[in-house]
């Protein structure tokens, strides 16, 4: 399959709503017509929210965290409605990088207590 292949006749409905504070919600069905798009166009559109989410989540971790990141990052894209593999250690380390000194000390004590039980 070539990324330059045009998508003809591909129309997907998606629900949308608009609401202002104190006003009723207005619901719409948007028929997204991809007929003028290539496969590459659709892939690029799908990556934008993931790029924004990645940047936002890393921005909150501070400049030192950003400096420590490798210049090339890999992100596994999963089909809608599925969950990617969970990396428990990466999640824990990410949480600890933004923890306060007191939170870190509490976690260290918990880990030492777990080690002592083994």
- Tens digit of pLDDT for each residue in 51-106? 888 888 888 888 888 888 888 888 777 777 666 556 677 777 777 777 788 888 99
Both 47 and 99 in a single domain? no
Cβ-contact 61, 98 below 8 angstroms? yes
Cβ-contact 9, 1 below 8 angstroms? no
Both 45 and 58 in a single domain? yes
Both 72 and 28 in a single domain? yes
Q: Three-state DSSP class for 27?
A: strand
Both 60 and 108 in a single domain? no
Instruction: From 87, 106, 81, 84, select the one nearest 96 (Cα to Cα).
Output: 106
Task: Name the pairing type of β-strands 26-33 and 11-18.
Answer: antiparallel
Both 13 and 34 in a single domain? yes
Instruction: From 51, 40, 42, 52, select the one nearest 11 (Cα to Cα).
Output: 42
Both 79 and 92 in a single domain? no
Both 60 and 112 in a single domain? no
Both 27 and 62 in a single domain? yes
**What is the domain range of residue 118?**
86-118
Number of separate domains in the chain:
2
Q: What is the pTM of this model?
A: 0.50
CA distance 12 to 29: 10
Q: In this predicted structure, what is the pLDDT of residue 85?
A: 59
Both 64 and 10 in a single domain? yes
Both 95 and 80 in a single domain? no
**42 C-beta neighbours (distance < 10 Å), count:** 14
Q: Three-state DSSP class for 62?
A: coil
């Amino acid at each position: 399959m070539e990324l330059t292949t045009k998508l003809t006749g591909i129309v997907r409905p998606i629900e949308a709503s608009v609401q202002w504070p104190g006003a009723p919600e207005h619901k719409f069905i948007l028929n997204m017509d991809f007929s003028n798009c290539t496969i590459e166009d659709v892939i690029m559109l799908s990556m934008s929210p993931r790029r924004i989410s990645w940047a936002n989540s890393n921005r909150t971790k501070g400049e030192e965290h950003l400096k420590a990141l490798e210049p090339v990052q890999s992100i596994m894209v999963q089909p809608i409605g599925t969950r990617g593999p969970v990396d428990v250690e990466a999640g824990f380390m990410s949480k600890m990088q933004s923890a306060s000194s007191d939170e870190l000390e509490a976690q260290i004590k918990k880990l030492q207590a777990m080690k002592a039980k083994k």
